[in-house]
Chains A and B, each alone.
Chain A
Amino acid sequence: MMRKLWIVFRKEVIDNLRDRRTLLTVLVFGPLFGPILYVGMMNVMTNKQLADLNQPLKLPVKGAQYAPNLVGYLKQHNTEIQPAPRDPEQAVKNGSADVVLVIPKDYAAAFRAGQPAVVQLVMDQSKDSAQKNINRARDLLQSYSQEIAALRLLARGVDPRAVAPLAVENLDISTPQSRAVLILGFVPYFFLFAAIIGAFYLAIDVTAGERERGSLEPLLTTAVSRSILISGKLAAVTLFSAVSLGLDVVALSWSQGLIPAAKLNIVVNFGWHTALAAFLLTVPFCLLIAALLTVVASFTRSYKEAQTWLSFIFILPMIPVFALIMFPVEPTLWMMWVPALSQDVLVTSVIKGAVLSGVFVTISVISTLALGLLLAWLAAWLYRRERVLG
């Protein structure tokens, strides 16, 4: 029994190790996709944050000579006045400036007369990346306007506070850390992704591929029970899935050194202890996904058809991940009964450095393994039917 299972398992492993596409997927694409995306996202975000915090606002001003006081005020408030482009609208349109301040010739006259002095901010509201600078410029002009208004009221003997019934204070508590959590939220998905893609081609090859090659029928006439055949195959698929997952965890742990976490004061706890815990928490999912992919592939008639159907399975673990990102809730017991969701929740907790509940871990592992075994049993049942020959 065990010997035959081992024979089938070993053959599938050796056979598939010789397939370049499978190998590339299991050893390179699956494990590196997550870490590369992770490092890339982290770096872009970090650089943007740092740049915005430290750098003065670069503001091209047209007609600066008409309003020396205003320009002086801007300069005092961390603004770098730049010479205006010849055509401000064009400059904003082609992206060479986020926002341009235009001061008309009659500004001084209107200002002196106590009329509202018109200034123009040329901007493109639809451009997300310009939003921050647009807001900064608008806020500066607003506060200059209020300052002047206050001075004018004082000159007329009115307390400026009379026209400020509300004092709105913006307390922005968004920190680089809190944004980093958003990206960290994807890490469990990267793990699940690696587990799925590691199993993907193998699950097709041992089922639909075997049928398409015409090697299934002779295999079924050998002195091996179909349950043993499918168990050996499943074991091989699970192994490839686990290898892909393991490499992904290692790569992500190692890539931690590539992000400027220190600059952001982020405490991302991803040493080898965490990596090992994340791996052990996710590895039951490998059996589940191997069995699920095998069952689905067993229904299909060809390699191509199997690929199409199996692609949908990549979306499944995305659902709990996005649900958690959009509606963050504290881990609760029922979540542990849902595979993919439970791994997601537990791995997130581990990364945040939280202490895991033994009950949670036990339920997650047992429910995932139980569902995996159920699907494995279903796969064996599918192989006992006559229709398996297609």
Chain B
Amino acid sequence: MITVHNISKHFGTVQALQSVDFTAADGHITGLLGPNGAGKSTTLRIISTVLKPDSGTVMVDGSNVLTDSMGARMQLGVLPHASGLYPRLTAIENIRYYGELNGLQGPALGKRSAELVELLEMQDFANRPAKGFSQGQRIKVALARVLVHRPKNVVLDEPTNGLDVMATRALRAIIRRVRDEGHSVLFSSHVMQEVAALCDDIIIIAHGRIVARGTPDEVRQQTGEMDLEEAFVKAVGESGVTP
């Protein structure tokens, strides 16, 4: 479970986040939805401990990201917006490296990476260097890297970017599966349909503030729009002002 307590963050004169407060529950897929530049990535980066909030904090399964960032990272699997692979390492080597960094070793590591190759259908390219991979292949390896140490909490920053329809569907299936195993999944997107198709909870963020939250139904009710996309537009507001 990820609990975000009232975090704020500024870069120079820009207030990127203002009192953002929400929970991504276990066994739930939580969608962080917002237009470009709304503060989605900043929120996820604070959760994944690469940025520090100006105020407020984040708890990841009881570990405070500020005071116990290592403990928090152990419970986290993070797919950042930029998730480059090592082009000279094979898919398997890329995955194994992250497994080792997160404390796996020996037969357990071998078993787990084989499992992921199976799960993500990477058999065809598992032993090829990552250099010439397609976007779909890259995202699969990156995702396997996120999941290799069976993190309790999975954070994905716009994971479907650049994926074709089939790859997107496959990714959704994987995300659901991770959820069904009891993990909490938090992912960001600027595509309404994607969030609608997948999420148990939605958090709509604009200009660094949360402007609507709840289950898809609750969001519809809050905004008085039956169509989620209309609800999103209304929540964000044409000028970005909270309704």
Interface 0/1 of B36-63, CB less than 8 Å to A: 0000000001001111100000000000
In the complex, chain A residues whose CB is within 8 Å of the CB of B145: 218
CA of A18 to CA of B86, assembled, Å:
11
Answer yes or no: A129 CB below 8 A from chain B CBs: no
Q: A residues 334-389 with Cβ under 8 Å of B?
A: 386, 389
Q: Does B101 lie within 8 Å of A218, measured CB to CB?
A: no
Instruction: Please tell me if B2 contacts chain A, counting CB pairs below 8 Å.
Output: no
Q: For this complex, into which size category does the number of interface residues on chain B fall?
A: 20 to 34
Interface residues in B200-237 by Cβ distance below 8 A to A read none
Looking at the complex, which one of B49, B142, B149 makes contact with A218 (CB distance below 8 Å)? B142
Q: Is the CB of B80 within 8 A of A223?
A: no
**Given the complex of chains A and B, what is the CA–CA distance between A14 and B103 in angstroms?**
20
A4 CB within 8 Å of chain B: yes
Give Cα A215–Cα B80 distance, bound, in whole angstroms.
9
Q: Is the interface of A mostly helix, strand, loop or mixed?
A: helix
Contact check, B98 vs A222: say whether CB atoms are below 8 A apart. yes
User: How far, in angstroms, from A359 to B70 measured CA to CA in the complex?
Assistant: 44
Residues of A within 8 A of B82 (CB): 214, 217
Contact digits for B73-97, partner A, Cβ 8 Å, 1 yes 0 no: 1101011111111111100010001
Which residues of the other chain, B, contact A293 by a CB distance below 8 angstroms?
Answer: none
Residues of B within 8 A of A14 (CB): 89, 93
CB-nearest residue of chain A to B149:
A223
Q: Which of A7, A215, A221, A224 is the one whose CB lies under 8 Å from B50?
A: A221
Q: Please measure, in the bound complex, the distance between the C-alpha atom of A224 and the C-alpha atom of B74, giving whole angstroms.
A: 9
Q: Does B102 contact A (CB under 8 A)?
A: yes
Chain B proximity of A129: nearest CB distance (Å): 50
Provided the pairs A386-B50, A389-B50 are in contact, do residues A218 and B73 lie with their beta carbons within 8 angstroms? Answer: no
Interface string of A23-49 (1 = CB under 8 A from B): 000000000000000000000000000
Task: State the CA gap A216–B80 with chains docked (Å).
Answer: 10
Binding site for A on B (CB under 8 A): 45, 48-52, 70, 73-74, 76, 78-89, 93, 97-98, 100-103, 129, 142, 145-146, 149
What are some 29 contacts across the A-B interface (CB < 8 A)?
A: A7-B97, A7-B100, A8-B101, A14-B89, A15-B86, A15-B89, A18-B88, A18-B89, A213-B85, A214-B80, A214-B82, A214-B83, A217-B50, A218-B78, A218-B79, A218-B80, A218-B146, A221-B48, A221-B49, A221-B50, A221-B73, A221-B76, A221-B78, A222-B73, A223-B101, A224-B101, A225-B70, A386-B50, A386-B51
